[in-house]
Amino acid sequence: MNLFKVLVPAILAGVLLSGCASVSSAEGPQAINDPLEPVNRVMFDTTLALDRAVLRPTALAYRTVFPAFMRDSLRNFLNNLGSPVILANDVLQGEGTRAGDTLIRAGVNTTLGLGGLVDVAKRWGYMRHSEDFGQTLAVYGVGEGPYLFVPLLGPGNPRDVLGWIVDLAFDPLTYAQWREKFLWQFGRAGVDLIDLRARNIETLDEIEKTSLDYYASVRSLYRQSRNNEIRNGATEVQDLPDF
């Protein structure tokens, strides 16, 4: 948490500096916008070293030990816990249909889906989507600010990190009190990270294998896929660069 005591002022400053006037199209994926690159590269290398030593082997072991149905149930459960945050941001973005989908998914999966372990709603055609407050800020026209590589958390920018903190406030479990709360929240974040890493072993290996500058590739991939999420998957052809 000390990390965030340092980060938050920097992030707020970044958001203010980037200004509300700069809309995402003006800072398309082609812009490098990485004034902290030397520091970011050190953070990237450190995280990569930690990933190679600890996270990737753990994720591999996790995938080997637990059968697919158990991993999928766990993923469903974690996804279901994230519903309130998604719902809050659907509503804040004025996405009525998507908010309805999230509400139905949470209701159906929490009850018929045995507390979220089974994604019954998906079989009924209610597909999952994700939302977070970083995306909501983007929809409101807040600029992303300079690229940041946050140790352990990965690629981001001030807008996303601020969003991440606000999303904690949208999570009902933040307010619930019970004895082993810290342990539980820590475990939830840890398992989430390991499962996510396990689902991306081949993809990340492939990106690293085909990259000449892995850091720059990850930066571009992150920006593009993040903008794709913000646009809810719609292709903005006019934002593409000229060839």
Partner 1 sequence: MSSYSRAMLPSWAAALIWPLVMLVAIIFSAPVAFAAAASPAETFVQQNIDKGYAILNASLSDDQRRAQFRTFMLGLTDTRRIGMFTLGQYANGASKADLDKFTDAFIDYAVAVYESRLSKYKGQTLKVTGSSERAADDIVVNADVVNPNSSNGQPFKVGFRVRKTSDGHPIITDMQVEGVWLALSQRSDFTGFLQQHGGSLAALTDNLHMQAQQIHASSGPGSQQAQK
CA distance 70 to 195: 11
Q: Give the shortest CB-163-to-partner 1 separation in angstroms.
A: 19
Q: According to CB under 8 A, which one of 8, 122, 153, 193 is a site residue for partner 1? A: 122
Q: Give the shortest CB-65-to-partner 1 separation in angstroms.
A: 17
Give the interface size with partner 1 as a residue count (CB under 8 A).
Answer: 32
* Beta carbons of 124 and 113 less than 8 angstroms apart: no
Closest to partner 1 by CB, 51 or 229: 229
Q: According to CB under 8 A, which one of 52, 96, 168, 206 is a site residue for partner 1? A: 206
3-class DSSP state of 155: strand
Part of the chain binding partner 1 (CB under 8 A), chosen from 24-32, 48-56, 93-101, 173-181: 24-32
CA distance 146 to 148: 6
- Using CB under 8 A as the binding rule, the residues of this chain from 215 to 234 that contact partner 1 are 215-217, 219-221, 224-225, 227-229, 231, 233
CA angle 7, 197, 166 (to 5 degrees): 35
Closest to partner 1 by CB, 97 or 177: 97
Residue 242 carries which DSSP code? P
Closest to partner 1 by CB, 184 or 236: 236
Q: Where are the alpha helices (DSSP H) in the chain?
A: 2-18, 37-50, 56-65, 68-81, 83-92, 96-111, 120-123, 133-139, 158-170, 181-198, 201-209, 214-230
Part of the chain binding partner 1 (CB under 8 A), chosen from 18-26, 101-109, 119-127, 162-170: 119-127
Q: Build a one-symbol-per-residue string for 25-54: x at contacts with partner 1 by CB under 8 A, - elsewhere.
A: ----xx-x----------------------
Closest to partner 1 by CB, 91 or 216: 216
Burial-class residue 156 by CB neighbours within 10 Å (0-12, 13-18, 19+).
buried
CA distance 113 to 119: 6
Closest to partner 1 by CB, 32 or 78: 32
3-class DSSP state of 8: helix
Binding site for partner 1 (CB under 8 A): 29-30, 32, 122-123, 127, 202, 206, 209-213, 215-217, 219-221, 224-225, 227-229, 231, 233, 235, 237-238, 240-241, 243
